[in-house]
Structure 1
Amino acid sequence: MNKKTLIGLGVAALVALVAAVVLNQTNKPRSENAGEKTAWLAPELRDHVNDVSKIVVTGADNKVLATLERGANGWGLAEKGGYAADTGKLREFLLKLADAKLLEQKTANKDKYAALGVEDVATKDAKGLQVELDGFAQPLKLIVGSTNPRGAGTFVRRAGDAQSWLASGTLTVEKSAADWLKKDLVDIAANRIASATIAHADGKSVRVAKDAEGDANFKVADIPKGREAGSEFSANGLASTLGGMRFDDVVPAKDATAGDKALKARYATFDGLVVDVTVWERDGKDEAQFVASLDAARADKGIAVAQAKAKAEFETAAAAAASAKKDDKSIAEAPVKPLAVSDPVKDREDRLASLNKEVADLNAHFNGWTFVLPAYKYANIDKSIDDLLKPLEEKKPAEGAKNAATRKTTKAGQ
């Protein structure tokens, strides 16, 4: 092969290599091409979500709707006395803002802002919400408008800028302080409850209870003579009130106190936990205050029962393992002794410590607050004995009395 041919082949190979590189660059997504930058809605928020220290949501007529502030104990709502915010919801919103891209320019004419919901919130009838984020060199202010009715995205405008945009994502902003609250209140399963007692202001009361922890249903106590218990569903429902309980709103306890017509409810568990609830109605809302405590005697009994159960289960397992080994049917090893068997005193201390911690944690959550309950939870507490019994049958008049009444009516008409 001569020198001229070698040079030709080298040039051809170089041309092919350049063509391959150009083709590869052409086929890459545009966002990866050199020199092109993604247009973010809030570039200062990218990689700085954790720097946000305060969020203010403002609505029409410049009315502040919610103020979320990060303090030593986490995020709280200023309008709710500093009560804890739902950090999961908060973080989800901030991440959506950080990921939002500017998809399409919209109007820069302020007379057309209202159609997109991005008019200044100083306007009396503004539809959008202004979100102000602090924690940066300069506060970030965004007006979040309507969602795109023709597809994905949300209309937005940076406060002070004339240009509005269609941004990616559904940027839903909660419109009230209550919507930002962490609303989990208490969760005590019904199968842990031993009894539930409701005391009314007029002195009447109703109580449901289980004879043993493993019972499937609660029984109505103190049934009046001549009456019968109603559906098991009613008694079980009363006892399950504290299961997965959430609240609608919260106010400082000093601003909402119980009146003289409040209901008093007590829920006692088999292991000694007691939750007392005071419930009342005020301004069309169902309000409640909670206090947790420990019944020492019931706790001792509960621990003794739990330890006896653990011991019985261990002995059964140990006997089974020994029998299997003797018959050469298995190489199963003897079970490890639970603490309730190996060191009952330490086990008891641990169980009591766990119960006392639960009481302390609940009261840390309850103390100083009045909670607005969902209507169905209040209805589940506001029960009378008649609600848990079969309805009385209307007595039909005897035949003789019926005939006498007919004759009396006929005579009166003559």
Structure 2
Amino acid sequence: MGRKALVFLALLALLLGASYLWLQRDGQPQDDGREAWLPELKGRAAQVALIEVQVGNEPAVRLAREGDHWVLPAKEGYAAASPPLADLLKALLEAEKVEARTANPQLHARLGLAEEGETGERASRVRIEFGGAAAADAAAVDTSPGADAPGAGAPLDLRVGNPSSQGAGQLVRRAGEEQVWLISRNIPLPATELDWLDRRVTSIAFADVRELDVRYASGEQITVYRDEQAQPNLKVRQLPKDRALPFEAAANGMATLFANLRLSDALPLAQLSFDREKPALRFTLQTFDEGRLEGQVYRHGEEYWMTLPVREGLSAEQVPGREQWAFRIEAQHYQALAKRLPELLGEN
């Protein structure tokens, strides 16, 4: 091979190597020098003790840490859902200042950042309080005029306005400050108490269900079952010998309900205002692992309330709904459970 060819190959190798390194560098996060919107929150997420959220003109929702979990104090300490809390804290921790916007309070309403106003003008509010060591730090915070950002233990009072009109990000400011910032993250804020509740009642996989027995106030009884776990569909014990289900999976919906049953409201049993002696139906669910769930459903006006007094051999993940509580379920959930034989046969 000639000298010129060797030189050309060497130059080509250098060029390819440089291109590879450039592409690798472009594929990695770059430090753009942006400032964190809430630097005092960094490293303090584990010390957050209370979060209060108010979206627009909706009632405020308070969430408090109790040990290693979160609850809603106004809901008698019922468990809060983990995903919205994690999403909110993650967004606040990662939010960076992208651009300073107006500092004119007369313009706050059109940005959804006013202290008061109509829907679309009033800011959503987030208040974060710290506990433990962070709370002790608050005593040392300089609150004099002209002081820097609040100390690590001081509560954070935040105002969240409109999302950016030019892509990702949101307009925000701190309470008591007029300066508006565009930040790099959208702040997810569920609006209602129900949105923050852990709505799981049961999570019993359909494949685990061996038998479901439903007994109505009228005395009628329907039992759906299977003999082996490998069987894909449930049979009906009360099915006449000369009849068949309209399709093989016709009875499955009664049990699949329990795989992902979610509440629409919850109350301690002591607060129920209706007679619990006369349920619309009672049911017993049994699993192949010897688990047993017994419950009742009550009809109160147009509402359906479920109680689960017996839960044996089932984990907290399978039955997350709290003991000694009643759960309001949607009408379609009740109807899925309350099948009578004519319905299963397709006669209604």
Instruction: Name the amino acid aligned to 2:86.
Output: R
> Which letter does structure 1 place at the counterpart of 2:344?
L
The residue number in structure 1 matching 2:73 is 78
Does 2:324 align with 1:368? Answer: yes
Task: Indicate the residue corresponding to 1:119 in structure 2.
Answer: 114
In the alignment, the residues of structure 1 paired with residue 216 and residue 327 of structure 2 have an alpha-carbon distance, to the nearest angstrom, of 20
In structure 2, do the counterparts of structure 1 residues 185 and 57 end up closer, same or farther at CA, with 3 Å as the change threshold? same
Q: Which residue of 1 aligns with 2:343?
A: 387
1:100-249 paired onto structure 2 within 5 Å: 100-120=95-115, 122-123=116-117, 125=119, 126-135=121-130, 136=134, 137=138, 138-223=154-239, 227-249=243-265
Q: Distance in 2 between matches of 1:254 and 1:214?
A: 42
Provide the rounded CA distance (Å) in 1 between the counterparts of 2:169 and 2:316. Answer: 46
1:192, 1:270 within 8 Å by CA — same for their partners in 2? yes
State the shift of 1:247 in Å. 2.7
**Mapped partners of 1:169, 1:163: distance in 2:** 18
Structure 2 distance, partners of 1:234, 1:71, is 44
CA contact (8 A) 1:186 1:244 kept: yes
Query: Separation in 1 of the partners of 2:347 and 2:243?
Result: 8
Answer yes or no: is the 8 Å Cα contact 1:291–1:363 preserved in 2: no
TM-score by length of 1: 0.64
TM-score by length of 2: 0.75
- Aligned partner of 2:52 in structure 1 is 56
> Distance between the aligned counterparts of 1:202 and 1:148, measured in 2?
58
Q: Distance in 1 between matches of 2:112 and 2:105?
A: 11
2:71 partner amino acid: G
Specify the alignment match of 1:408 in structure 2: none
Alignment correspondent of 1:273: 291
| Pairwise CA distance, 1:224 | 5.0
Q: Secondary structure at the match of 1:232?
A: coil
Q: Can you list the C-alpha shifts for 1:168-221, whole angstroms capped at 9, x where unaligned?
A: 111111111221122333222223222212222222222212234443322112
Amino acid in the other structure paired with 2:220: K
> What is the one-letter code of the residue matched to 2:347?
P
Distance 1:257 1:190 in 2: 33
User: The residue matched to 2:246 in structure 1 has which SS?
Assistant: coil
Q: Give the Cα separation in 1 of the matches to 2:294 and 2:63.
A: 31
Inter-partner Cα distance in structure 2 for 1:229 and 1:185: 29
Distance change >3 Å, CA 163–CA 256, structure 1 → 2: same
CA contact (8 A) 2:306 2:328 kept: yes
Question: Does 1:286 pair with 2:281?
Answer: no
C-alpha distance in 1, partners of 2:64/2:326? 21
Relative to structure 1, is the Cα distance of residues 55 and 185 closer, same or farther in structure 2, using a 3 angstrom cutoff? same
Higher helix share: 1
Equivalence for 2:27: none
In 2, Cα distance between equivalents of 1:251 and 1:237: 26
- 8 Å contact kept, 2:283–2:295: yes
Residue equivalent to 1:297:
none
Structure 1 residue 380, shift from structure 2 partner? 1.3
Provide structure 1 residue ranges, at least 5 long, that are not aligned to the other structure: 1-28, 33-37, 295-354, 393-414
- Whether the aligned pair in 2 keeps the contact of 1:289 and 1:366 (CA below 8 Å) is no
Give the conservation status (yes or no) of the 8 Å contact 1:258–1:279: no
Which one of 78, 88, 94 corresponds to residue 89 of structure 2? Answer: 94
- CA contact under 8 A between 2:101 and 2:181: conserved in structure 1? yes
Give, in angstroms, the shift of residue 286 of structure 1: 3.2
- Deviating beyond 6 angstroms after TM superposition, the runs of 4 or more aligned structure 1 residues are 359-364
Equivalent AA in structure 2 for residue 280 of structure 1: Y
- Bigger share in strand: 2
Question: How far 1:267 moved relative to its partner?
Answer: 0.9
2:333 match: secondary structure? helix
Change in Cα spacing, 1:158 to 1:200, as seen in structure 2 (3 Å) is same
Shift in Å at residue 59 of structure 1?
A: 4.0
C-alpha change, 1:249 and 1:149, in structure 2 (3 Å) is: farther
How many angstroms does 1:113 deviate by?
1.3
Q: In 1, Cα distance between the equivalents of 2:274 and 2:291? A: 23
SS across alignment from 1:233 = coil
CA pair 108-391 structure 1, distance change in 2 beyond 3 A: same
Q: CA deviation at 1:383?
A: 1.2
Identity %: 28
Structure 2: 5+ residue runs without aligned partners? 1-29, 139-153
